[in-house]
């Protein structure tokens, strides 16, 4: 059974302040879940997806994301379920889409904004997501409009405005579909390759 601390959702509720674009909650995996995470990282790059109904919150729905045959798969599914429920409660979602990524290279190497109301990123191990504070990005140059890479495109107006999300945390970014954030959604990207494998999970609300 997954038991939540009501304060966890309350801590992220600052996202509803129009001035706040990013919120983070420390969320290190428990010992057994962390042991399973090491097995996932050791198994090599991969991606997987699953969905959790917030009405039932049955962690068995996320067991397909665990490493088959590795110890503590149930602990890993419980950990993912806890993160998904927190995210779902924050957004009032009936379900949460869960995408698990184990990667050697950046999977979203260009600065971009998400075309959703909000996206959760659960960082487990490895380098974390980079994002730019308001005013540090030229939004007219996002994507491939300015060049083949962000440096050439001139997306970044000020590199001093570059931030990284905390490790072992659940971070939620406002996207372009958040009311009032159409022109202020968080500009972010995967970190550059560092030789360290990353394990992260992204969360999306399913209405």
Residue 80's CB: how many other CB atoms inside 10 A?
A: 28
CA distances in angstroms from 169 to 53, 63, 128, 152, listed in the order given: 22, 21, 10, 31
Q: Is 141 helix (H, G, I), strand (E, B) or coil?
A: helix
Q: Which residues of the chain have pLDDT under 70?
A: 1-7, 144-148
Question: Alpha-carbon distance 16 to 187, whole Å?
Answer: 18
Q: What is the side-by-side strand order in the sheet with 130-132? A: 162-164, 130-132, 187-189
Question: Alpha-carbon distance 132 to 102, whole Å?
Answer: 24
pLDDT at res. 1: 43
pLDDT at res. 6: 60
Residue partners of 92: CB distance under 8 A and separation at least 6? none
Q: Is 113 helix (H, G, I), strand (E, B) or coil?
A: coil
pLDDT at res. 152: 73
- Which two structure tokens, joined as six digits, stand for 56? 């039932």
pLDDT at res. 123: 93
């Amino acid at each position: 059974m997954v038991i939540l601390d009501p304060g966890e959702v309350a801590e992220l509720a600052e996202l509803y302040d129009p001035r706040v674009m990013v919120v983070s909650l420390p969320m290190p995996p428990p010992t057994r879940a962390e042991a399973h995470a090491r097995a996932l990282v050791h198994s090599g790059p991969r991606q997987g997806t699953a969905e959790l109904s917030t009405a039932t919150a049955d962690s068995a729905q996320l067991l397909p994301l665990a490493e088959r045959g590795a110890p503590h798969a149930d602990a890993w599914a419980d950990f993912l379920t806890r993160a998904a429920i927190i995210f779902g409660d924050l957004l009032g979602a009936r379900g949460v889409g869960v995408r698990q990524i184990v990667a050697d290279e950046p999977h979203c190497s260009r600065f971009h904004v998400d075309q959703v109301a909000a996206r959760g990123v659960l960082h487990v191990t490895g380098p974390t997501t980079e994002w730019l504070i308001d005013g540090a990005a030229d939004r007219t140059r996002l994507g491939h409009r300015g060049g083949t890479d962000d440096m050439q495109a001139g997306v970044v107006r000020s590199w001093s405005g570059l931030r990284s999300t905390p490790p072992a945390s659940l971070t939620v970014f406002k996207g372009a579909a958040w009311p009032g954030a159409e022109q202020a959604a968080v500009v972010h990207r995967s970190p550059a390759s560092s030789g360290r494998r990353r394990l992260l999970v992204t969360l999306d609300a399913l209405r």
